[in-house]
Amino acid sequence: MGGGFSGAMLAVHLLHQSSSLSVAVIDPGSLPGRGVAYSSPRKFHLLNVPAGEMSAFPDAPDDFLRWARIHFDAGMRERSFPPRSVYGAYLGNLFEKARFEAGEERLQWIRDRVLSLRHFKGGLAIQTEQGPEILARVVVLATGNFPPANPRVPGLDLPRGAYFQFPWSPEALENLPPASCSWVQDSPASTSSWLSNRRASGVRFTSYHARDSFLTPGDKCVRLSRGRYSGTSDRRAPCVACCD
């Protein structure tokens, strides 16, 4: 269940290790391996781990680097941070290669959403939105992280478009309000990445780092820099951003 990085690469590794297994990956998306992280088409959405450390094969650590030099940029270095879409294409390519080598009957991509599982004759029966039940000996849940819950912050009943629960949803980047306050409750790494979207959209902002707990802009915040996010080593602390 789930064909992001985990589901798609598990399928590839299983087929490398066994010549008798058949694997079906069920995911509502059309492209293997993309998931939330690698489906963005935006070129300014970069990997946050350098290319030299992103191989899908531990025993071939430069596999992604070599692929990216051929298919994206011949000058790519180990410490380069290419767009996440390039990494998604790499994962998709690995999946298609495995399917070509094993045959379509041994590696299927089923475009559907799983609704439920039940025990059935020593295995499991999978009910999807559209298809008949699928029978499997083993099911792996590779459904990724669920969207974040709404934080308990007064004032979240803001007008539509002023607050986004899930910063990676496509709508969160559309029609950004030019001059309103916004904040992000997440790790500094994600905040930095999210802010780069806004910067690329021409929105200036002031970023804050809240020391103790979740804070709203202007409320006991520590201002870091104007129009520029500077990271923090405290990975537990949430971040706050406020547009100029």
Ligand X SMILES: Cc1cc2nc3c(=O)[nH]c(=O)nc-3n(C[C@H](O)[C@H](O)[C@H](O)COP(=O)(O)OP(=O)(O)OC[C@H]3O[C@@H](n4cnc5c(N)ncnc54)[C@H](O)[C@@H]3O)c2cc1C
Residues 30 to 69 in contact with ligand X, rule: CB under 6 A: 35-37, 47-49
**Site stretch for ligand X (CB under 6 A), options 21-29, 60-68, 117-125, 219-227:** 21-29
**Site stretch for ligand X (CB under 6 A), options 14-22, 57-65, 137-145, 217-225:** 137-145
Nearer of residues 17 and 116 to ligand X, judged by Cβ: 116
Nearest approach, Cβ of residue 128 and ligand X (Å): 7
Backbone phi and psi for residue 152, each to the nearest 5 degrees, phi listed first = -85, 80
Q: Interface mask (CB under 6 A) for ligand X, residues 159-178, using x and -?
A: ---------x----------
Q: Which two tokens stand for residue 38?
A: 């690698």
The alpha helices in 21-128, defined as continuous H runs, are 63-71, 84-102
Residues 194 to 233 in contact with ligand X, rule: CB under 6 A: none
**Site stretch for ligand X (CB under 6 A), options 2-10, 64-72, 94-102, 226-234:** 2-10
Name the β-bridge partners of 83.
46
135 is an interface residue for ligand X by CB under 6 A:
no
Nearer of residues 142 and 221 to ligand X, judged by Cβ: 142
Tell me whether residue 25 is exposed, middle or buried, using C-beta atoms within 10 angstroms of its C-beta: 0 to 12, 13 to 18, 19 or more: buried
Nearest approach, Cβ of residue 108 and ligand X (Å): 13
Nearer of residues 6 and 22 to ligand X, judged by Cβ: 6
7 is an interface residue for ligand X by CB under 6 A:
yes
Whose tokens are 């980047």? That residue is 173
- The helix/strand/coil state of 149 is coil
Asked if 211 contacts 243 with a C-beta cutoff of 8 angstroms, the reply is no
Nearest approach, Cβ of residue 130 and ligand X (Å): 11
DSSP category for residue 46: B
Asked if 4 contacts 140 with a C-beta cutoff of 8 angstroms, the reply is no
Strand pairing report for 23-27 and 107-111:
parallel
Number of Cβ within a 10 Å radius of residue 217: 16
Nearer of residues 12 and 37 to ligand X, judged by Cβ: 37
Nearer of residues 142 and 184 to ligand X, judged by Cβ: 142
Nearest approach, Cβ of residue 179 and ligand X (Å): 25
Nearest approach, Cβ of residue 11 and ligand X (Å): 11
Orientation angle between helical segments 63-71 and 84-102, nearest 10 degrees: 100
**Distance between CA atoms of 45 and 84, rounded to whole angstroms?**
6
26 is an interface residue for ligand X by CB under 6 A:
yes
Number of Cβ within a 10 Å radius of residue 76: 21
Binding site for ligand X (CB under 6 A): 1-7, 26-29, 35-37, 47-49, 113-114, 142-144, 168, 193
